[in-house]
């Protein structure tokens, strides 16, 4: 296993890459050159064409025009297999590992030359030798479904290196890692590029990461190359300006007023629960959220945040303890959430809080359709007031700035930011005493993020108790009055936001406490 | 002699019945395991089973060779699998609906084509008398094991091994658990699923051959009594594990033999209730192994009604 082929990085260049979907140009004449052994960052808002570009390079899409040069020679890449044969590999944002297979099975089956009958004894020996040269320690005998998100991410990277990728594309690789893990992973990859073994193209939103690890960068905006250069030669503000273009960005509304210590809206004591796979357990000793307070729960993905949210939303049953909202036990039923004015916005709202094929107008009406007028206490309505619902939807679409072709368009046709706006329009119109939100800005562009955070802060300023569960530490730091850290199913650290130290929070997120 | 054995005839008959009755369950459930592991549900295996029974019987009558019947039944089953797989590969087609359609189609076609073969008798499949050491006819009867049962037992071990140790086995699991991952690796998910459905149909067809050529050993329209459908439930109970399929098939076979066994020792009242044992067992097991709080462990990720 020591040919020159696998130990040298390759240069990749796109020339005039263009991809049209009908009349819409997702990618318009983009030429980027990445030197062998380079570490290149690709910046841009959501929908700027970053993933379209890398999918064209990887052969997922056939570009409308333009070509890819690998080591200076034009390469016809017809699909992921062909890309793999050229030494190109990509780590996707959503995992491509097979959940029920073990790590070892995932690695072996991904290889192009799997023998008909797998000799596990020799494969295992080869894997052990390979892993000895890898920067990460991983248990390859466990099914991938049992791994944490961070472990999966590492396994994805290991898989690409196992497949002898010499050019590696990373799509927002650190979104599921702790700050320390991100540092470790990117540092090791940077080391490999410095040694000339690998070329890296990283899609990222995080300037700090780009400045620390990348050597050069390009910015895409609306499918066009908006700029680029050497990292360090361009200021953060200039990079942001390249991404955003000439556009006013709303800043997050400031918090005003202080939490009301006399009104504890949400109070959990001794809550335990287990997720449907039976693998993850949570044990929350105590958690309080007061009126006019945002409590942020930080943590690395897969440390029990989802299970906590599912208990509060009524998706899974708590096996013990008490959830109390406004002085009475709460199990997340519709009548309870209505009478206690609790609103729950799960992560990935299109999947978890919408009926994707129903219209925007209908989705906005989910809270209001079964009662008369807008009266939360009103008698249930038997017949739908279609006209009323439509008027209400039109009003909310305008007020919350939901961009949609029409109120009757299926909500799945909207961009992520507009789906979230529509969901917030539905949930925040009536008076709300308790708002539980999970990863509200995941995968949204800057403008949408600012909008949505402003709405959450405005609700808090109006007296709502907000429980914000987020994997984005910056979001937690920006919005919270009080910060809790969740690790391995427990709340392990608490600090007022004013005294929060990122390093301390990061250590607790990583489980060092 | 049977008086000497007394109540011992019941467990003995249940054991014999388990071996005799379980074979179709075993073949259909192994076939369905392959199909479901690849991400498709084929409910049409009941129809495939009945058609396989007819095809095997007719072939054996015409050629005089029961093994030719088994081969034809398997091929016919693979044909049904191909049909199911191909139709399900079209956009916006639901595999459960297609399965139900093919179940009715397979049974109906078998009745139509099989009419002339109800009367003639076909040569049966050979059995091996493992009970030769005993003088008791009950023991000898219970231990007459058909060759296909042994083939099925070996097959379940072989499949269990193949799902872990062969490329084909891993590719099937990948296709069934994450179509996206399979595509990213450059495998043709549709092709894998069509082939897996064909393999499933092939085995179900052989299960049908056992019905008509060994036990009960004749061809008529009531030959299957829903065993193909029960075998699909059995796959879920066995958690898509071929070894567990073998155990589950024996269990279902034993339950099926309970009614006749009790009748033979003179239990004259309520034995019809025991004829329902396999069906009650199906329901009871599915309820007992379900949970409102736990996801089904081992379920292939691509199975579902929502595609």
What does the pLDDT read at residue A7?
Answer: 62
Distance from CA of A109 to the nearest CA of B (A): 7
Contact A322, A264 (CB under 8 A): no
Q: Mutate which of A109, A159, A306, A316 to disrupt the B interface (most B C-beta within 10 Å)?
A: A109
* CB-closest option in A84, A109, A277 to B170: A109
What does the pLDDT read at residue B287?
Answer: 83
Highest mean pLDDT among A11-15, A250-254, A349-353: A11-15
Contact B186 A79 (CB under 8 A): yes
- State whether A304 and A191 are in the same domain: no
Total number of residues shown for chain A: 513
The answer to whether residue A5 scores a pLDDT higher than 70 is: no
B188 touches chain A (CB under 8 A): no
Contact A198, A192 (CB under 8 A): yes
- State whether A195 and A266 are in the same domain: no
- State whether A208 and A289 are in the same domain: no
* The domain boundary residue, chosen from A220, A244, A268: A244
Q: What is the pLDDT of residues A298-328, one digit of tens each?
A: 987 778 898 999 999 988 889 999 999 999 9
Contact A444, A473 (CB under 8 A): no
Asked whether the CA dihedral A305, A310, A312, A318 is positive or negative, the reply is negative
* CB-closest option in B165, B178, B298 to A98: B178
pLDDT class of A386 with cuts at 50, 70, 90: confident
Dist CA A467 CA A305 (whole Å): 11
Contact B293 A317 (CB under 8 A): yes
Distance from CA of A108 to the nearest CA of B (A): 9
Is the residue at A361 inside a domain?
A: no
What does the pLDDT read at residue A248?
Answer: 47
Q: Residues of chain B with pLDDT > 90: what percent? A: 55
Residue A27 Cα to chain centre, angstroms: 23
- Higher-pLDDT residue of A238 and B151 is B151
Dist CA B40 CA B232 (whole Å): 12
* The domain boundary residue, chosen from A244, A278, A303: A244
Q: Mutate which of B162, B168, B174 to disrupt the A interface (most A C-beta within 10 Å)?
A: B174
Distance from CA of A140 to the nearest CA of B (A): 14
Strands of A12-21's sheet, edge to edge?
A24-34, A12-21, A65-70, A73-75
Give a three-class secondary structure readout of B73-93. Answer: HHHHHHHHHHHHHHHHCCCCC
pLDDT class of A383 with cuts at 50, 70, 90: confident
- State whether A60 and A95 are in the same domain: yes
- Higher-pLDDT residue of B195 and A3 is B195
- Phi/psi region, residue A105 (left: phi>0; alpha: psi -120 to 50; beta: rest), is alpha
Phi and psi for B203 in degrees, rounded to 5?
-65, -40
- Higher-pLDDT residue of B108 and B283 is B108
What does the pLDDT read at residue A250?
Answer: 46
Give the angle B242-B248-B252 at the CA atoms, nearest 5°: 140
Q: Mutate which of B166, B184, B299 to disrupt the A interface (most A C-beta within 10 Å)?
A: B184
Residue A64 Cα to chain centre, angstroms: 29
Is the residue at A272 inside a domain?
A: yes
Cis ω before A144 (30° cut-off from 0) = no
The answer to whether residue A371 scores a pLDDT higher than 90 is: no
- Higher-pLDDT residue of B82 and B284 is B82
Q: Is A214 helix (H, G, I), strand (E, B) or coil?
A: coil
Phi and psi for A171 in degrees, rounded to 5?
-100, 105
B177 touches chain A (CB under 8 A): yes
Contact B143, B129 (CB under 8 A): yes
* Per-window interface: A 317-336 vs B, CB < 8 A: 317
Q: Mutate which of A84, A85, A98, A319 to disrupt the B interface (most B C-beta within 10 Å)?
A: A98
Average pLDDT, whole number, for chain A? 86
Average the pLDDT over B292-304 and give the result: 73
Q: What is the pLDDT of residues B202-229, one digit of tens each?
A: 999 999 999 999 988 999 988 988 889 9
B166 touches chain A (CB under 8 A): yes
Is the residue at A390 inside a domain?
A: no
Contact A480, A468 (CB under 8 A): yes
Q: What is the pLDDT of residues A8-54, one digit of tens each?
A: 899 999 999 999 887 778 899 999 999 999 999 998 876 688 888 99
Average pLDDT, whole number, for chain B? 89
A118 touches chain B (CB under 8 A): yes
Helix axes A103-110, A120-132, angle to 10 degrees: 100
Residues with Cβ within 8 Å of B304's Cβ and at least 6 positions away in sequence, in order, are none
ipTM: 0.85
**Joined tokens for residue B132:** 């030769």
pTM above 0.80, yes or no: no
A100 touches chain B (CB under 8 A): yes
Which residues pair with residue A345 across a beta bridge? A437
Contact B214, B79 (CB under 8 A): no
The answer to whether residue A1 scores a pLDDT higher than 50 is: no
Average the pLDDT over A391-414 and give the result: 90
The answer to whether residue A6 scores a pLDDT higher than 60 is: no
Dist CA A157 CA A171 (whole Å): 11
- Domains held by chain A: number: 2
Contact A101 B184 (CB under 8 A): no
Dist CA B188 CA B184 (whole Å): 10
Domain CATH for A325: 3.40.50.300
**Joined tokens for residue B267:** 């239990």
* CB-closest option in A100, A114, A278 to B177: A100
The answer to whether residue A147 scores a pLDDT higher than 50 is: yes
**Joined tokens for residue A35:** 């030197």
pLDDT class of B73 with cuts at 50, 70, 90: very high
Give the angle A326-A330-A331 at the CA atoms, nearest 5°: 160
Dist CA B83 CA B80 (whole Å): 5
What does the pLDDT read at residue A149?
Answer: 74
Average the pLDDT over A214-226 and give the result: 91
Is the residue at A423 inside a domain?
A: no
Cβ contacts of A115 on chain B, cutoff 8 Å: 167
* CB-closest option in B167, B174, B293 to A115: B167
Side-chain half-sphere CA neighbours of A493 within 13 A: 24
What does the pLDDT read at residue B186?
Answer: 79
Distance from CA of A509 to the nearest CA of B (A): 27
* CB-closest option in B182, B184, B294 to A278: B294
B185 touches chain A (CB under 8 A): yes
> Of B282, B273, B252, B246, which Cα lies nearest the Cα of B14?
B252
Which residues pair with residue A229 across a beta bridge? A217
Output the DSSP codes for A27-39: EEEEEEEE-TT-E
- State whether A211 and A296 are in the same domain: no
Distance from CA of B294 to the nearest CA of A (A): 4
Give the angle B66-B72-B73 at the CA atoms, nearest 5°: 90
For residue A278, give its domain range. Answer: 260-341+431-509
Distance from CA of A118 to the nearest CA of B (A): 5
Side-chain half-sphere CA neighbours of A428 within 13 A: 29
* CB-closest option in A116, A278, A317 to B166: A116
A110 touches chain B (CB under 8 A): yes
Residues with Cβ within 8 Å of B305's Cβ and at least 6 positions away in sequence, in order, are B94, B96
Runs of H (alpha helix) within chain B: 2-5, 9-37, 45-63, 66-88, 95-114, 137-142, 147-165, 167-177, 179-184, 189-213, 227-237, 242-264, 271-275, 277-288
Closest Cα in chain A to B37: A100
* The domain boundary residue, chosen from A175, A209, A244: A244
Q: Is B210 helix (H, G, I), strand (E, B) or coil?
A: helix
Q: CATH assignment of B2-288, given 1.10.730, 3.40.91, 3.40.50, 1.10.3470?
A: 1.10.3470
Q: Mutate which of B165, B170, B291, B301 to disrupt the A interface (most A C-beta within 10 Å)?
A: B170
Q: What is the pLDDT of residues B122-131, one digit of tens each?
A: 999 998 888 8
Contact A109 B171 (CB under 8 A): yes
**Joined tokens for residue A462:** 């109006």
DSSP code for B71? H
Contact B297 A277 (CB under 8 A): yes
A445 touches chain B (CB under 8 A): no
Distance from CA of B152 to the nearest CA of A (A): 21
Q: Residues of chain B with pLDDT > 70: what percent? A: 95
Spell out the domain ranges in chain B.
2-288
What does the pLDDT read at residue B92?
Answer: 86
Dist CA B184 CA B46 (whole Å): 34
Q: Mutate which of B181, B294, B296, B307 to disrupt the A interface (most A C-beta within 10 Å)?
A: B181
Is the residue at A11 inside a domain?
A: yes
Closest Cα in chain A to B174: A98
* CB-closest option in B174, B292, B298 to A101: B174
pLDDT class of B294 with cuts at 50, 70, 90: low
Side-chain half-sphere CA neighbours of B208 within 13 A: 42
Q: What is the pLDDT of residues A447-461, one digit of tens each?
A: 788 888 999 999 999
Size of interface A-B (CB pairs under 8 A): 72
Residue B211 Cα to chain centre, angstroms: 10
Q: Residues of chain A with pLDDT > 90: what percent? A: 45
- State whether A444 and A326 are in the same domain: yes
Cβ contacts of B170 on chain A, cutoff 8 Å: 101, 105, 108-109, 114, 118
Output the DSSP codes for A122-164: HHHHHHHHHHHTSSS---TTSBGGGS-HHHHHHHHHHHHHHTT
Closest Cα in chain A to B298: A100
- Higher-pLDDT residue of A22 and B1 is A22
Dist CA A24 CA A418 (whole Å): 19
Dist CA A303 CA A149 (whole Å): 9
The answer to whether residue A3 scores a pLDDT higher than 70 is: no
- State whether A269 and A160 are in the same domain: no
The answer to whether residue A4 scores a pLDDT higher than 50 is: no
pLDDT class of A249 with cuts at 50, 70, 90: very low
């Amino acid at each position: 296993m020591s040919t020159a082929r696998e130990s040298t990085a390759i240069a990749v260049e796109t020339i005039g890459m263009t991809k049209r979907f009908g009349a819409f140009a997702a990618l318009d004449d983009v030429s980027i050159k990445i030197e062998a052994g380079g570490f290149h960052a690709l910046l841009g808002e959501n929908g700027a064409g970053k993933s379209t570009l890398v999918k064209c390079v990887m052969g997922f899409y056939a570009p409308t025009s333009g070509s890819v040069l690998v080591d200076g020679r034009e390469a016809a890449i017809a699909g992921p297999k062909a890309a793999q044969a050229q030494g190109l590999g990509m780590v996707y944002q959503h995992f491509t590992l097979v959940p029920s297979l073990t790590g070892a099975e995932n690695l072996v089956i991904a290889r192009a030359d799997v023998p008909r009958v797998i000799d596990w004894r020799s494969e295992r020996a080869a894997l052990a030798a390979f892993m000895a040269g890898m920067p990460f320690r991983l248990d390859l005998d466990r099914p991938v479904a049992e791994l944490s998100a961070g472990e999966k991410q590492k396994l994805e990277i290991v898989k690409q290196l196992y497949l002898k990728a010499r050019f590696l594309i990373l799509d927002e690789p650190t979104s599921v890692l702790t700050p320390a893990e991100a540092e470790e992973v990117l540092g090791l990859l940077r080391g490999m590029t410095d040694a000339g073994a690998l070329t890296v193209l990283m899609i990222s939103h995080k300037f700090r990461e780009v400045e620390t690890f990348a050597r050069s960068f390009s910015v895409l905006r609306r499918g066009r190359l908006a700029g680029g250069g050497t990292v360090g030669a361009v200021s953060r503000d200039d990079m942001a300006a390249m991404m955003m273009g000439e556009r006013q960005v709303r800043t997050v509304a400031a918090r005003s007023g202080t939490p009301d210590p006399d009104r504890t809206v949400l109070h959990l004591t001794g809550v335990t629960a287990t997720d449907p796979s039976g693998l993850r357990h949570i044990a929350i000793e105590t958690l309080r959220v007061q009126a006019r307070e945002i409590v942020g729960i930080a943590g690395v993905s897969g440390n029990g945040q989802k299970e906590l949210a599912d208990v509060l939303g009524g998706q899974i049953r708590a096996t013990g303890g008490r959830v109390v909202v406004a002085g009475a036990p709460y199990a997340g039923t519709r009548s309870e959430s209505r009478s206690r004015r609790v609103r729950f916005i799960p992560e990935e709202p299109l999947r978890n809080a919408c009926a994707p094929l129903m219209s925007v107008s209908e989705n906005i009406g989910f809270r209001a359709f079964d009662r008369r007028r807008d009266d939360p206490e009103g008698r249930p309505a038997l017949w739908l007031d279609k006209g009323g619902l439509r008027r209400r939807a039109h009003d909310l679409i305008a007020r919350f700035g939901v961009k949609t072709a029409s109120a009757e368009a299926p909500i799945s046709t909207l961009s992520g930011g507009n789906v979230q706006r529509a969901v917030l329009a539905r949930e925040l119109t009536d008076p709300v005493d308790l708002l539980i939100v999970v990863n509200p800005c995941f995968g949204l562009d800057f403008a949408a993020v600012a909008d949505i955070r402003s709405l959450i802060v405005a609700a808090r300023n109006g007296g709502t108790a907000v429980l914000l569960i987020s994997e984005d530490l910056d979001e937690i730091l920006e919005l919270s009055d009080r910060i809790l850290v969740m690790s391995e199913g427990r709340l392990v650290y608490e600090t007022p936001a004013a005294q929060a130290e990122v390093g301390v929070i990061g250590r607790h997120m990583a489980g060092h406490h | 002699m049977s008086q000497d054995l007394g109540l011992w005839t019941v467990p003995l008959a249940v054991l014999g019945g388990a071996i005799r009755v379980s074979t179709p369950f075993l073949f259909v459930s192994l076939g369905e395991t392959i199909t479901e592991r690849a991400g498709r549900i084929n409910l049409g295996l009941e129809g495939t089973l009945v058609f396989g029974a007819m095809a095997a019987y007719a072939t054996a009558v015409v050629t005089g060779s029961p093994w030719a019947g088994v081969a034809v039944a398997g091929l016919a089953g693979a044909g049904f699998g191909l049909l199911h797989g191909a139709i399900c590969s079209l956009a916006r087609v639901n595999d459960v609906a297609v399965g139900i359609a093919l179940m009715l189609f397979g049974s109906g076609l078998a009745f139509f084509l099989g009419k002339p073969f109800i009367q003639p008798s076909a040569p049966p499949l050979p059995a091996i008398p493992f009970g030769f050491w005993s003088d008791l006819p009950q023991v000898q009867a219970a231990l007459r094991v058909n060759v296909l049962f042994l083939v099925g037992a070996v097959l379940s071990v072989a499949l269990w091994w193949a799902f872990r140790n062969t490329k084909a086995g891993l590719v099937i699991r990948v296709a069934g658990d994450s179509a996206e991952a399979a595509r990213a690796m450059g495998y043709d998910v549709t092709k894998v699923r069509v082939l897996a459905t064909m393999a499933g149909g092939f085995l179900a067809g052989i299960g049908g051959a056992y019905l008509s050529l060994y036990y009960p050993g004749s061809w008529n329209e009531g030959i299957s009594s829903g065993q193909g459908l029960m075998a699909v439930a059995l796959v879920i109970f066995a958690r898509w594990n071929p070894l567990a399929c073998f155990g589950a098939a024996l269990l279902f076979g034993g339950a099926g033999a309970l009614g006749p066994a009790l009748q033979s020792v003179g239990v004259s009242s309520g034995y019809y209730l025991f004829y329902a044992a396999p069906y009650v067992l199906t329901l009871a097991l599915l309820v007992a192994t379900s949970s409102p709080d736990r996801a089904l462990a081992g379920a292939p990720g691509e199975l579902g009604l929502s595609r």
